[in-house]
Chain A
Amino acid sequence: MIKSLLLTFLLSLGLSIHGTSQEKFTVSGYVQDASNGENLIGATVYIKEIESGAVTNFYGFYSVTLSPGTYNFEFRYLGFDGLSLEITLNQNKRLDLELIPEGTELEEIIIEAEPEDINVSGVQMSTNKLDIQSIQKLPSFFGEVDVLKSIQTLPGVTTVGEGTTGFNVRGGGVGQNLVLLDEAPVYNSSHLLGFFSVFNPDAVKDIKLIKGGIPARYGGRIASILDIRMKEGNSKKFTAQGGVGSIFSRLAVEGPIKKDKASFIVAARRSYVDVFAKAFTDVLSDGAALNFYDVTLKTNYDINANNRIFLSGYFGRDNFKFDERQGFNWGNTTTTLRWNHLYNDRLFSNLTLFYSNYDYELAFGEDDLDKFNWNSEIDTYDLKQEFTYFINPNNELSFGADILLYNFEPANAIGVSNGESRDISIPEKKALESSAYISNDQTIGDRVTIQYGLRFSNFMYLGKGQYFEFDQPEPGIRRRVTDTFEADKFEVIKNYANLEPRASIKYQLPTNSSLKASYNRTAQYIHLVSNTTASNPLDIWTPSTNNITPQTGQQWALGYFRNFGANNSIETSIETYYKNTTNQIDYIDGADILINEFLEGDLLSGKGRAYGLEFFAKKNGGRINGWVSYTIARTELQVDGINNNQWYPTRFDQLHNLKIAAFYETPGRWSFAANFSLISGTPTTFPTSRFQVQDYTIPLNFFNSRNNIRIPAFHRLDISATLQGRKMKRGKTRKNENYWVFGVYNVYARRNPFSIYFAQVDERPIGGNPIETQATRVSIIGTLLPSISYNFKF
């Protein structure tokens, strides 16, 4: 019903636009990087005469429709020389062009680039883009360039602590971020429990973090969207890049399959310590293993001016094996097929088909007579159609629909004891999430741009299988099954639907500044079940069911954006937000979340609120550049059955969060970078008292409170120095580039607290004697870590 209404609306809109299109013409095309043929995402197309223009989309496409006449077009992209063209418009024009990276010697006519000010002039707020060059310069853990760690330098982004999986955005949980790699969700973004992220920097082109004002095209998570786009591969020439770091060795190869028509990239990384260690120790005999790796592949084919296809894939795995038979492993697999099609020069279409899987596997037991094997996975199949209709310079309409099938396998587990086995698997669960959206970017007059849209989402928890009804004891107590029902295959057990309005507005102020405001409502139908301090690879995703209600979130944000200096070299912003969320999951004490058929009975549901103020200043260009972000924020939950039903701060609540990233480039071959963090201590729960039962000393929090104390503040400085290889060799320019990166993580070796735990001393208690109890502060990284890496490109 709603869908047919939507369709009618779209059709009528389309017709009316066509009705007036006779006296106007369209300029459209792709903007690419001249050096490698990569599409430029977010390049601006500015038309002087109308003081307005367009921005290229995720595929580098733009379209502008104007009355006949002569116009001055300017094409700009940060880090590239701008390009100015005079275009006389008397018919529709296809204009694919290439921009040249700054600093490249050229004979062509270049204009002095007009300032890039999309951060001020664009309607989108609460969004940060990090280019891969900046990420590569940031000092990092073990010298390994890390996409996820680098976004933690942005305002509003926090983590529970060092070494933890994932990140928290504006008070959202780790499982409330939608991490997309070429449109496919990545369910666990970490290697080695959380020390490294799964994205190979050599294959990443563009990273966009959306913290608020989430456009209608995105949905499914309530906190943020991290949209990572992979490189398409150099369509001009073959290149290879790679490196040897402290942890990974990396190699990426890219090149044309057919020049300017088709290209590919293959990028792989693998930890290599095990290979190295084999020479020195026999630890890895008996089939023991410790390694992690990932492979990223992408290829694209420009069929013709109106059709282009992309195929990309990711495969990554972590392996820990104690011996031949015992150990665990986990990893993600994603595959994305996309088809860009231009129905006409104003209607851009992208059809995406993707598959995403996350699975883990554990095995214990010395032989087949006694073993315990367990695996768990989540599969996602998705079909998504998106359209962008470039109506005129003042209106850009996006609409689309998405259908997503989930298959959850919480546990396929078998226990064998002395040859007798028991299958303790939990039946798989299926769900279908579908959505449709429409959104318009509209410019009104000189000063106002609005983006308004609506997303409709629907979720069906499907059979076949058993589903349960639980009793309702006082919150905090395990709920017991009172009734069991059987559902047939694909029978809808429970249906949920949500309307998700989205709106953003920008008001341009004089002096290169603007005010922006946004509102969004989002719904999340699948939940990451994790009751440990940090998320871990064994955490499972579970769908909304007849007992678990979807989470929803609302966010209001207001921001002031202003640029300073020539060429907008300094960007600043202040943003404030308020969020409230419903149906936040928490856990009863002692919750049994792994291999538990009646998991729903151990979950609690509550509400959340988060608010904060974010400051951001960034200097682009110049010998000294970098950014500073500071956030003051609160994140709280209220869950019946926890903290006497009162509000309590989440484990990742941080009042103050200051991050500084600074870069200094010398005129010579050296460049330096530093990264500093100062973060308020996160909350934790301290006991008040202790008591003894059966000679075990048990902590007691008399007030029954949660997160009542804060651990001390965290601060850390990391530095790195990069030495570029010589550019010239025997008077000639070298074809190959190479550079060394030397880094020190945690320069002053601070033992930053991760947590404080309370326990009896680690010695066997003697019955009747007093038992000593103590508090211990744990630092995950308690020392400084030097690193070195060698990188090359040719």
Chain B
Amino acid sequence: MIFSFNQHIIRNRVIVERFILLLFVGVLNLSCEDQINPTLEEAPPLMVVDAWINNKNETQIIKLSRSQSYFDNSVANPIIGATVTIEDSEGLVYSFIEQEEGSYQWDPIAGIPFGQVGLGYNLNIQTSDATYTSISAMNRVPLVDSITFRFEKKNFILPDSYWAEFWSRDLPGIGDTYWIKSYKNGQFLNNPDEINIAFDAGFSEGGNIDGLLFIPPIRDLINPFDQDEDDDFLSPFSDGDEVVVEIFSINRDAFIFLNETALQINRPGGFGELFATPLSNVPTNITSSNPEETVVGFFNVSAVSINSKVLNVNEVPRN
């Protein structure tokens, strides 16, 4: 519940804050932020596994790297020379070959994509230090039935704007978990506040919304919420923009991982800090054979459904 709900609140928080500012003090901004450079404790680098595999007909990539100091803004150090395989529950082995440093890849053969819904997958990574293993399963995914646009007239925050919504129904049966990714004109909306995950059709396990169309906050989160140079909000979509929506089935532990990741990285700042949760480490589902070589990161296998739509403003009623 908390994650998506917070996210909804956080989006609304921008509105609430503006609202309060507008009403209270006009231009006077009470809260303020400064960049600082505190000294952090030194820590040794850890093995990082970034293994999110799907059944799209494209190259599948597993990245192995090392963690770095928090303020080290360079590209992470790759881990080279590892042996990486995924074996499915029927004994089929997929070998991932290091094509670039630290980037282990598998390409579809004869147009047949990775995996099969319903099977389990074992990840195996061997480096000179240890063997790392993990398991995942490719779960079912519902179709994205359609995408629509709606018009909303200007309010005190947003200009006249076009919002996209996707229409898809959670598969009946409790416990399906999804990651909904959206793209605007080919660009993946990957801001921390755009992480959009669902537990059945709702926010969370406790929420228990099964078998419905994904609920509105989830449908709406496919929209970018960008600002221009003057910090004014932009309409999520304009005439001719294309939106692509992909639903990835994910494992329940991957849902928890993404949920906690969002809590950790989606930091709106300002008044929102009053309601922030403490910094804590996100979970991992990778196991190391060597207790000296700790590992972070995640392995997940997804089935994906896709749909897209181009905005033609003439087709959207302006009421």
Contacts and interface: CB of A to CB of B under 8 A. Distances in A.
Contacts of A595: 1, 5, 204, 206-207
A590 B202 contact: no
A569 interface: no
A598 B206 contact: yes
Contact of A691 (B3, B30, B68): B68
A757 interface: yes
B267 A691 contact: no
A764 interface: yes
B36 interface: yes
B23 interface: yes
B12 A273 contact: no
Contacts of B44: 702
B192 A322 contact: no
B158 to A, nearest CB: 11
B23 A277 contact: yes
Contact of A764 (B23, B34, B74, B187): B187
B297 interface: yes
A778 B269 contact: yes
Contact of B74 (A370, A702, A770): A770
Contacts of B214: 417
Contact of A771 (B2, B65, B73): B73
Given A592-B204, A755-B276, A780-B271, A687 B70 contact: yes
Contacts of B2: 591-594
A699 B260 contact: no
Contacts of B180: none
Contacts of A759: 192, 265-267, 269
B269 A757 contact: yes
A379 interface: no
B130 interface: no
A589 B280 contact: yes
A286 B50 CA distance: 47
Nearest to A764: B191
Contact of B67 (A415, A690, A704): A690
Interface residues of A, number: 102
B20 to A, nearest CB: 7
Interface in A667-707: 684-704, 706-707
Interface string A54-71: 000000000000000000
Contacts of A288: 19, 156
Given A193-B274, A592-B2, A596-B204, A775 B209 contact: no
B12 A322 contact: yes
A689 B156 contact: no
Nearest to A765: B190
A471 interface: no
B208 interface: yes
Interface in A178-198: 192-194
B70 A274 contact: no
Contacts of A765: 190-191
A534 B275 contact: yes
Contact of A164 (B75, B201, B274): B274
Interface in A605-662: 651
Contacts of A723: none
A8 interface: no
B37 interface: yes
B209 A424 contact: yes
B229 to A, nearest CB: 12
A164 B276 CA distance: 12
Q: Interface centre among B167, B202, B208, by most A CB within 10 Å? A: B208
A783 B30 contact: yes
Nearest to A695: B190
From DSSP, what is the main secondary structure of chain A's interface residues?
A: loop
B28 A783 contact: yes
B45 interface: yes
A595 B188 CA distance: 31
B273 interface: yes
B276 A709 contact: no
B135 interface: no
A782 B50 contact: no
B216 interface: yes
B46 A702 contact: yes
Nearest to A766: B187
Contacts of A699: 70, 264-265, 279
Nearest to A711: B38
Nearest to B266: A759
Q: Interface centre among B35, B46, B216, by most A CB within 10 Å? A: B216
A688 B215 contact: no
Interface in A740-794: 751, 754-760, 762, 764-765, 767, 769-783, 785
A206 interface: no
Contacts of B192: 696, 759-760
Interface in B272-287: 273-283
A694 B270 contact: no
Contacts of A468: none
A779 B35 CA distance: 11
A364 interface: yes
Contact of B33 (A372, A701, A778): A778
Interface in A498-550: 531-534, 536
A281 interface: yes
A597 B215 contact: no
B22 A693 contact: no
A757 B71 contact: no
Contact of B205 (A283, A592, A700): A592
A119 B209 CA distance: 59
A14 B193 CA distance: 68
B260 A589 contact: yes
B297 A693 contact: yes
Contact of A283 (B50, B156, B212, B265): B156
B46 A418 contact: no
A597 B30 contact: no
B68 A686 contact: no
A534 B164 CA distance: 35
Given A532-B277, A699-B279, A781 B31 contact: yes
Interface in A243-284: 247, 273-274, 277, 281-283
B30 A782 contact: yes
A94 interface: no
A686 B33 contact: no
A690 B207 contact: no
A420 interface: yes
Contacts of B155: 286, 323
Contact of A776 (B33, B67, B205): B33
A592 B274 contact: no
Contacts of A698: 261, 264-265, 282, 296
Interface of A: 163-164, 192-194, 247, 273-274, 277, 281-283, 286, 288, 290, 320, 322-323, 364-366, 370-372, 415, 417-418, 420, 422, 424, 426, 478, 531-534, 536, 589-599, 651, 684-704, 706-709, 751, 754-760, 762, 764-765, 767, 769-783, 785
12 contacts: A417-B215, A422-B201, A536-B274, A589-B281, A596-B206, A599-B206, A686-B70, A687-B70, A690-B69, A698-B261, A764-B189, A780-B271
Given A163-B274, A756-B38, A783-B28, 8 more contacts: A288-B156, A364-B217, A372-B216, A531-B278, A703-B43, A764-B190, A775-B37, A778-B32
Interface of B: 1-3, 5, 8, 12, 15-16, 19-20, 22-24, 28-38, 40-46, 48, 50, 52, 63, 65, 67-76, 155-156, 167, 187-192, 195, 201-202, 204-210, 212-217, 219, 256, 259-261, 263-267, 269-271, 273-283, 296-298
7 smallest beta-carbon distances between A and B, as pairs? A782-B32, A596-B206, A702-B43, A688-B43, A590-B260, A685-B279, A691-B67
